Structure 1
Amino acid sequence: MWQGWPLERVLLLFVGLAFSMLFVQVTMFHSRQNFRHWAMWIPVIEAPLFAVTAIVLAFLNAGWLRLLFALFMWIGLVGGLYGAYLHTVGVGQRVGGYSQSQNFLVGPPIMLPLMMTAMSALGLLALYWG
């Protein structure tokens, strides 16, 4: 089955599986915080949509699906950067702000939304490089 798969298809499948795992992680973190900010719902809603679209696109190369996936990846790229901004602000709002290195360990994880950005960028690379 894997014989002859181009790198684009393998990367699309990888991106879909990565978004599935990110969905689980983000949902656990944001539900633990009781979705206190409306933006916490963004990755919880978009990650499974991104995952399904990427996985289906790995098996079905339809033009409309490629367009939808590209749109989703651009949204994910911008959304991840926005999330990193919000997480950085959240670290600063903790007692002691940015001067307490502990806040970077126990506060909102700044790297997690950047992983959404990175996966979106990888999805775009897979889509346009091939």
Structure 2
Amino acid sequence: MHIAVLLDSGLEHYRGSFRNPAMLLPLAASSVNVGIDGARLMAGRGAAGWDARLVGQGSAMAVGLLGMGFHLLNIGKRPGGFGWSNLFHAAPLGAPAALVLAGALGLAADQAAQPSVSNGRALGALCAIGILGTSAEATLLHFRGAFQNPAMWLPVTVPPVAAVTLAADAVLARARPATMALLALTAVLGFAGAAFHAYGVSRRMGGWRNWRQNLFAGPPLPAPAAFTGLAVAGLGALHRIGRRDG
């Protein structure tokens, strides 16, 4: 998730020429946490450095919340306020929330290493909310694109169903095979979405030979990865729920 946020915010804020110095914050926060998460992964379970991880992930969440405020301000100050045109073309409302989710998932990963602390239900609920939010943003942007490719309906239909079933399993403390299948499909959609977005870039004038322009003007390549990250985390939550239930 932090890698996806780093790439996505890097592209979008570079396109905005970093007009506001605060636009550097999500890049710094996600970069630091990529390093923190990588070190945690290499060290394995029981690794030291919980305080540093807490500060890092907490800072990422704070930067994400700050970014949501900036994006709301960006939309609200435009002529027309929160009209459809501004929702389509101004700073994306949901994008900074991905950094909040990335930080929360990083903290959840540390909690998951302590079986006595986490049973997966809270993580499942968090992932369900994240998938619904990501799907809402995809719906807005694909509606802007008039759903010109039928495949654009997939991320606005399959993930919400997966999120609802995951939320139900989290509430009822059960892990159904159907929910696992839906989450696996959602994870695959993240990879497929990146491929479709790459194809969308190639269809613009000059294709990938004109990548300096088309990479910024075409569909965002890193965005679909959020589905994969949240779905995999949701599968992890179901695994813990099933282990407790079993």
Q: Smaller-chain TM-score range? A: 0.7 to 0.9
Q: How does the TM-score come out when normalised to structure 2?
A: 0.47
Partner of 1:125: 236
The answer to whether structure 1 residue 18 and structure 2 residue 108 are counterparts is no
The answer to whether structure 1 residue 47 and structure 2 residue 190 are counterparts is no
Partner of 1:81: 191
Q: What is the Cα deviation at residue 7 of structure 1?
A: 4.7
Partner of 2:63: none
Distance in 1 separating the partners of 2:121 and 2:174: 13
Partner of 2:98: none
Aligned partner of residue 140 in structure 2, secondary structure: helix
Partner of 1:91: 201
Larger RCO (CA within 8 A; separation ≥ 6): 1
Partner of 1:6: 118
| Matched residue type, 1:86 | F
In structure 2, list runs of 5 or more residues that go unmatched: 1-115
Aligned partner of residue 118 in structure 1, secondary structure: helix
CA contact (8 A) 2:125 2:167 kept: yes
Q: CA RMSD in A?
A: 1.8
Q: What is the Cα deviation at residue 36 of structure 1?
A: 0.5
Distance in 2 separating the partners of 1:48 and 1:68: 14
Q: What is the Cα deviation at residue 58 of structure 1?
A: 1.2
Partner of 1:107: 218
Q: What is the Cα deviation at residue 119 of structure 1?
A: 1.1
| Matched residue type, 1:23 | S
Distance in 1 separating the partners of 2:118 and 2:199: 41
Q: What is the Cα deviation at residue 60 of structure 1?
A: 0.6
CA contact (8 A) 2:131 2:231 kept: no
The total of aligned residue pairs comes to 125
Q: Per-residue displacement from partner, 1:32-86 (whole Å, max 9, x unpaired)?
A: 01101110000111122122112111111235xx211101111111122111111
Distance in 2 separating the partners of 1:76 and 1:30: 17
Q: How does the TM-score come out when normalised to structure 1?
A: 0.86
